[in-house]
Amino acid sequence: MKRNYRFTISYDGSRYFGWEHQPNTDMTIQGKIETVLKRMTDTDVEVLGAGRTDAGVHAKAMIANCFLDTTMSEQEIKNYVNQYLPDDIAITDVSIAGDRFHSRYNALGKTYRYTCYIGDSKPVFDRKYVYVLDEKPNIDRMKSAASYLIGEHDFAAFCSNPKMKKSTVRNLDSIEITTNGDYIMLTYHGSGFLQHMVRILTGTILEAGFGKRTPESILTLLEEKDRTKAGPTAPACGLCLIEVDYH
């Protein structure tokens, strides 16, 4: 009998073309997991993720679900899949979910963290997970710019898809900007995010920190909805999906 299984997955996205299937390559997170589950069950399996992280983006707790016809226990499934997955992808939890559970449609919110590095020396061991800045931005200016983004807004200026047909209105609950030694962390929580939204928000907030724009210019960006006037898209390596919220 087929059952719906919920997976918690962590991965280093450095060498992958994102979560979702891509043409002409098997180097996606979704593809790697489906390949192992197909081998385990001898049937085609579709793994549905809570989001579609971009190429080079990491995750500590991506949630996914799929229907499997197996007599194996949850622990046995976890052990089997981890045995055959590459070392940079890990299943950290497997549980049986209700038949109606859908990792993406049932998600209430997501937490992303973007990490910048401002140290004098090269971050040799963290180089795949941080954005190395050439200078230190003003944190107070960054926090001021971020404050204008909180709440429900049309974030069209922070979406990289110019052909977006669905609404670009999103609710951003919080942006926490913290420092720890040579690291600056921007932690975002919201109900949902547009394509490259967190990376564009980060690039724009950093511009405010560097004095390249005023914090108040965020209001104009939200009003004009023009992507070309927002900041650059920060590199993928600094971004990590931290958590997905459910009831």
* Same domain, yes or no: 227 and 126: yes
CB of 194 within 8 A of CB of 158?
Answer: yes
State phi, psi for 151 to the nearest 5 degrees: 110, -170
Q: Quick one: residue 217, left, alpha or beta (phi over 0 = left, psi -120 to 50 = alpha)?
A: alpha
CATH number of 48's domain: 3.30.70.580
* Same domain, yes or no: 66 and 124: no
**What's the pTM value of the predicted model, to 2 decimals?**
0.95
Query: In this predicted structure, what is the pLDDT of residue 207?
Result: 98
* Same domain, yes or no: 116 and 231: yes
Report how far residue 92's alpha carbon sits from residue 183's, in angstroms, rounded to the nearest whole number: 27
* Same domain, yes or no: 114 and 44: no
Residue whose pair of structure tokens reads 């899949």 in the numeric block: 81
* Same domain, yes or no: 129 and 224: yes
* Per-residue pLDDT tens digits of the chain, which is 247 residues long: 899 999 999 999 999 999 998 888 889 999 999 999 999 999 999 999 999 999 999 999 999 999 999 999 999 999 999 999 999 999 999 999 999 999 999 999 999 999 999 999 999 999 999 999 999 999 999 999 999 999 999 999 999 987 777 899 999 999 999 999 999 999 999 999 999 999 999 999 999 999 999 999 999 999 999 999 999 999 999 999 999 999 8
102 belongs to a structural domain: no
What residues are paired with 9 via a beta bridge?
A: 62, 91
Domain residues for the domain of 168 are 109-245
Q: How many CB atoms lie within 10 A of CB 174?
A: 12
207 belongs to a structural domain: yes
Report the number of distinct structural domains present in the chain.
2
104 belongs to a structural domain: no
Report how far residue 187's alpha carbon sits from residue 177's, in angstroms, rounded to the nearest whole number: 6
Query: In this predicted structure, what is the pLDDT of residue 23?
Result: 86
Report how far residue 44's alpha carbon sits from residue 217's, in angstroms, rounded to the nearest whole number: 50
* Same domain, yes or no: 86 and 115: no
* Same domain, yes or no: 134 and 211: yes
69 belongs to a structural domain: yes
Q: Would you name the residues annotated as active-site residues?
A: 54
185 belongs to a structural domain: yes
198 belongs to a structural domain: yes
